[in-house]
Amino acid sequence: MLGDVAVAVHPSDARYASLVGKAVRLPIVGRPVPIIADEYPDPEKGSGAVKITPAHDFNDFAVGKRHNLPMINVLDDFARINDNAPPEYRGLDRFAARKKVVEEFERLGLLRGIEKTRHVVPHGDRSGVVVEPYLTDQWYVNAEILARPAIKAVEEGATVFAPKHWEKTYFEWMRNIQPWCISRQLWWGHRIPAWFGPDGRVFVEETEAEAQRQAEEHYGRPTDLRQDEDVLDTWFSSALWPFSTLGWPEKTEDLARFYPTHTLITGFDIIFFWVARMMMQGLHFMGEVPFKRVFINALVRDASGAKMSKSKGNVMDPLELVDDYGADALRFTLTAMSGAARDIKLSRQRIEGYRNFGTKLWNATRFCQMNGCARAEGFDPSSVKLALNRWIVGETVRTARAVTAALADCGFDEAANALYRFIWNRFCDWYVELSKPVLNGPDEAARAETQASAAWVLDEILKLLHPIMPFLTEELWGQTADFGAARAHRDFLMTAPWPELSDSLIHSDADAEIALIIEAISEGRSVRAELNVPPAARPALLVLDATPAQRALLESSAPLIGQLLRVSELRFVDAAPEGAIPYVVEGVTLALPVAEFIDLAAERARLAKEVAGHGGEIEKLSRKLGNPDFVARAPEEVVEENRERLAEAEAAKAKLEAALARLGAVA
RNA sequence: GGACGCGUAGCUCAGCGGGAGAGCACUACGUUGACAUCGUAGGGGUCGCUGGUUCGAUCCCAGCCGCGUCCA
């Protein structure tokens, strides 16, 4: 009320049209104020006429600007009424003043009534106190001009965001940028480099000496200047970070060498505050982007998805987690969960799982040590002969490539997952298991090759995993330092060269051979489990139908399959005896003669289920291949792949149906 | 109000045009001298809904519903 300067009505409001242009007298203050027409008032609300206080309301300020109204500030820095108000109000706190205004209205007979309404008022986020907008002089940066090159730099790829979709957030803000208020009334910070002369004239210079010089020139004599007491917005100062830390404004060697920097790692919540400002200032002061890539990492939340905060008490203290699970487990968890999604829901269960992963690798290393898997002098991974070793060397190469590519691309989660799968599901589950018969077997050359291969793979694993689990890998590197031939790199693993392995180490024939062995064992186990064949039973494994190459492979892998599938021997036969349970993998028909152990009904159910499974796939594939449009328009290799799958499914189904029929006959 | 993002197994998430995946949880069984912080096997999903594009959609497009975050 005390700072009002106009009454506004909507231009279309017929009730007041005749009053526009006239003036009313402001009660208490006595000031005549104009009645103006503006789009801002809502004719539906209240009387449809609204008083305008440009100095204390954002909307009213805009109205005031449009109509060139005076802006009367009636508050001081402590939200007390100042000297612009009538004397009896001066010095009163805002709340007391409001009460007094109401009382005065009542006394004057102007109060029509008091209504309770709900409205939104801003509160200080620390004090909780209602914030009163009021007019002050502040320093602004014309951010729009600074934003232009910063937008262009990202559009043209001089700086890229990872994940890329954050560029949208950046553009959204930069293209709608507002003038940036850079002055703050705080104690700490860079002081604004503006000096005032006795007549209020301002001198903005880089240094006080320069300001003095300019003032002397202006006034014609040395003059006392007063520096503005405000400091720069924290983010204004922070935006200088990429180059001020390198010695700017001096032209230092560091600055020349390290600017522009490579990758900035930060959180999405400060893309606006920090990243955008660094871009603007970097381009302005240095003429080049401050960094070539911005990696935005996810925000850690609690297991239920809430942002961790001390006041909510849902903070998981990293030091406590480290105590419980180890730093590597926590680090691996955060890495594995740092995908393109914007937050990480951290749970103890997850960390526990990756702690177990570390333990697994520890035990696998122990296994290697116990089985003489020492590094061999001059070992060459391209020279290995056993399919098992050729296969694991190839898998190591593939993993190294995947991890290297993922890291280069900030795909840290992909790198972690690739390592997890390789180390646990390939190396531990299969390589170590398949190597046991060789390591305990009579063939000395095969054993030596396998020992050397395992040692080589383990060293590569330690190098690849080191960035994500530095402590565990460094420890294992140290523990195996003297085991066998000396390493080319004898120092800390941390300083070891990153693996660079040739694709020529990948052998698809070895891959296919090991795939057959793995499938034969897995499927065989499945048969045993589903039919409740006792674990101690050691039937033979019958091979009914295989190419000569498959036959040779199975023959040479007999000890290995025997141990892992717990069969007594491999026997190549032309026809399965009655009651033998068949299964088909990679086109090979195998059978387990376990009639004495099994429940015929269970076996029939198992076979029927398998047959139905194949039947479903056959139907789907036939329908697809029966569609002339598919055959005509889909890429040749896709059509071919579908044909092969159909043929395989049909063959497998026929074999299993035959077995089912035989079983029916037995019963 | 504007912008961005997310809805896939009980839970947490990956996949993002041609065969629905992982970890945890769950069920059963544990025998093999690395590992019970483990092993083997298994159950569990009209990939939010409705349309469109396509020979083909969990994947691309539009709309809707639900949820989240940032900015006003």
pLDDT per position as a tens digit, A250-267? 999 999 999 999 999 888
Cα angle vertex A512, ends A508, A518, to 5°?
140
Mean per-residue pLDDT for A428-453? 95
Identify nearest nucleotide to residue A413 by CA to C1′ distance. Answer: B14
Split at pLDDT 50, 70, 90, the class of A69 is very high
A571 touches strand B (CB under 7 A): no
* pLDDT computed for residue A33 by the predictor: 93
pLDDT digits (tens, 9 = 90+) for A542-567: 999 899 999 999 998 998 999 999 99
A303 against A497, higher pLDDT? A497
Q: Which nucleotides of B are covered by protein (CB under 7 A)?
A: 3-6, 12-15, 18-19, 23-25, 28-32, 34-35, 37-42, 54-56, 69-71
Please tell me whether residue A45 adopts helix, strand or coil conformation. coil
C1' (B2) to CA (A271) span, angstroms? 18
Q: How many residues does chain A have?
A: 667
- Structure tokens, A66: 């449009």
Is residue A587's pLDDT more than 70? yes
Which residues from 435-494 of A have any strand B atom under 7 Å from their CB? 436
* pLDDT computed for residue A416 by the predictor: 93
* pLDDT computed for residue A45 by the predictor: 76
Percentage of residues of chain A with pLDDT beyond 70: 96
* pLDDT computed for residue A219 by the predictor: 94
Is residue A412's pLDDT more than 70? yes
Average pLDDT, chain A: 89
For residues A73 and A55, the answer to whether their CB atoms sit within 8 Å is yes
For residues A554 and A427, the answer to whether their CB atoms sit within 8 Å is no
Percentage of residues of chain A with pLDDT beyond 90: 57
> Which residues, including other chains, have CB under 8 Å from residue A574's CB and lie 6 or more apart?
A544
* pLDDT computed for residue A268 by the predictor: 82
Is residue A200's pLDDT more than 50? yes
- Structure tokens, A15: 């009730």
**Domain assignments of chain A as residue spans, ordered by start:** 6-108, 140-192+228-297, 340-506, 535-666
Sheet holding A194-196, edge to edge: A202-204, A194-196, A226-227
Is residue A666's pLDDT more than 60? no
- Residue A353 class from Cβ within 10 Å (0-12 exposed, 13-18 middle, 19+ buried)? middle
Please tell me whether residue A539 adopts helix, strand or coil conformation. coil
The rounded radius of gyration (Å) of the Cα atoms in chain A is 39
A369 against A123, higher pLDDT? A369
C1' (B10) to CA (A308) span, angstroms? 25
* pLDDT computed for residue A310 by the predictor: 66
Mean per-residue pLDDT for A235-255? 94
Which CATH number is A6-108 given? 3.90.740.10
Please tell me whether residue A141 adopts helix, strand or coil conformation. strand
A433 touches strand B (CB under 7 A): yes
Cα angle vertex A498, ends A493, A504, to 5°?
130
A525 touches strand B (CB under 7 A): yes
C1' (B9) to CA (A42) span, angstroms? 53
A314 touches strand B (CB under 7 A): no
Is residue A395's pLDDT more than 70? yes
* pLDDT computed for residue A571 by the predictor: 92
A341 touches strand B (CB under 7 A): yes
Q: Which of A314-323, A353-362, A595-604 has the lowest mean pLDDT?
A: A595-604
* pLDDT computed for residue A431 by the predictor: 96
C1' (B58) to CA (A635) span, angstroms? 21
Split at pLDDT 50, 70, 90, the class of A349 is confident
Is residue A667's pLDDT more than 50? no
A366 touches strand B (CB under 7 A): yes
Is residue A36's pLDDT more than 90? yes
* pLDDT computed for residue A241 by the predictor: 94
Split at pLDDT 50, 70, 90, the class of A151 is very high
Give the architecture-level CATH label for domain A140-192+228-297. Answer: 3-Layer(aba) Sandwich (3.40)
For A340-506, give the CATH class.
Answer: mainly alpha
pLDDT digits (tens, 9 = 90+) for A175-196: 888 889 999 988 889 999 999 9
Identify nearest nucleotide to residue A621 by CA to C1′ distance. Answer: B19
> Which residues, including other chains, have CB under 8 Å from residue A589's CB and lie 6 or more apart?
A543, A544, A545, A546, A582, A583, A655
Residue carrying the six token digits 């509160």: A123
C1' (B61) to CA (A479) span, angstroms? 57
* pLDDT computed for residue A606 by the predictor: 78
Interatomic CA distance for residues A432 and A80, integer angstroms: 79
Please tell me whether residue A106 adopts helix, strand or coil conformation. helix
Split at pLDDT 50, 70, 90, the class of A409 is confident
Interatomic CA distance for residues A561 and A567, integer angstroms: 7
DSSP state of A289: -
State residue A9 phi and psi, 5-degree precision.
-130, 160
State residue A317 phi and psi, 5-degree precision.
-70, 120
Within a 10 A sphere around the Cβ of A235, how many other Cβ atoms?
17
For residues A422 and A391, the answer to whether their CB atoms sit within 8 Å is no
Split at pLDDT 50, 70, 90, the class of A341 is low
Within a 10 A sphere around the Cβ of A587, how many other Cβ atoms?
14
Sheet holding A49-52, edge to edge: A23-25, A32-37, A6-9, A49-52
